[in-house]
Amino acid sequence: MSLSSSQILFLSTLVLGTTLSISSTSWFGAWIGLELNLLSFIPIISSKNNQYSSEAALKYFLIQALGSSIIIMSASLMLIKSVPANVLLCIALLLKAGAAPFHFWFPSVMEGLQWPQAIILMTIQKIAPLSLMSYLDTAPIYPVLLSAIILSAMIGAVGGINQTLLRKIMAYSSINHMAWMLAAMTISETSWLLYFLFYCLVASSVALLFNFQEAFHISHLFNHTNFSPEVKLLTFMALLSLGGLPPFTGFIPKWFIIQELVSTNLFFTLAILLMSALLTLFYYLRISITALMVSAPKVKWSTKKASPSLITSPILFINFLGLLTPSLFVMIM
């Protein structure tokens, strides 16, 4: 995908806003970074080729503006040492990150985006809110975080079962992974950063495969028979990796979080997360197995070959990284 000069400019300011937000020494500086990030992402969303982009941009702007206004209000309450300030700030950051119960905007915005913009929304746009949330003292906001963990796990798992649009499925998957990240955040900063890094790699690989196949609906994966079996098998493995099935890469961060939750005796939270992970695996398998079984390419001369250097090899490496080098991550932790 070729980028215009304006898109390169807005991408640069988007990354600058995220960097400013997470490196700021004051909440005012963090707020400025969030606003710069928001105003940079709106033009990136807008596209002449997508009739739903204006609706998605308006929804995103209104929700993020609401979150910013709550941050300003909570910052003013901090000046008078008010108790609900941290709780309000946590709620605003959960709203900006798209975690349940403030998730209502996330699937509808994802539905109106192209896959490259969806990747940015699922990965880069979550960095600043989650980083700012990790700076907060977890003791006063723990009930809010626990509620967000349980609701995100349940809604992300149940919400994606009846979906047929791939972008909405990825949105509910992101909400479910948000529960794991918030659970990791209550344990240590290293844990959630590790989980977030792996989530970004695996989710981006799945979205890039959908973009390569020009698939936006489950039926597109069934009916598009002009792709090679290698691409379909790679999609199958990437979805299983996103679901956290061993021995794929997506299992590594979940393995660490499971160990940490057991060591801190958070068995109830762990049980909710594991049950939700099983439900998410169900709708990943529904997509991948049906696509593999139903739509084997019949016409060999119409088969579209993927470029091994640009598509197949990096994504294959990302999703088998855990299988190839498990001892490396054991030594890190």
In this predicted model, what pLDDT tens digit does every residue of 101-115 receive, in sequence order?
A: 999 999 999 999 999
**Looking up tokens 């979805």, which residue turns up?**
239
Query: What gap in Å lies between CA 93 and CA 134, rounded to an integer?
Result: 10
Q: Which of 104-113, 217-226, 240-249 has the highest mean pLDDT?
A: 104-113
pLDDT of residue 308: 46
User: Whole-angstrom distance between the N-terminal and C-terminal Cα of the chain?
Assistant: 37
User: What is the chain's mean pLDDT, rounded?
Assistant: 85
Q: Would the pLDDT of 180 be above 50?
A: yes
**What is the residue range of 206's domain?**
5-332
Q: Would the pLDDT of 82 be above 50?
A: yes
Q: Which of 25-39, 80-94, 302-316 has the highest mean pLDDT?
A: 25-39
pLDDT of residue 15: 94
pLDDT of residue 206: 92
The count of structural domains within the chain is: 1
**Cα atoms in the Cβ-side hemisphere of radius 13 Å centred on 76:** 5
In this predicted model, what pLDDT tens digit does every residue of 222-236 receive, in sequence order?
A: 766 566 777 778 888
Count of residues in the chain: 333
In this prediction the pTM is 0.89
pLDDT of residue 108: 92
Q: Would the pLDDT of 306 be above 50?
A: no
Mean of the pLDDT values across residues 84-88?
Answer: 85
pLDDT of residue 323: 60
Q: Would the pLDDT of 38 be above 50?
A: yes
pLDDT of residue 18: 95
pLDDT of residue 66: 94
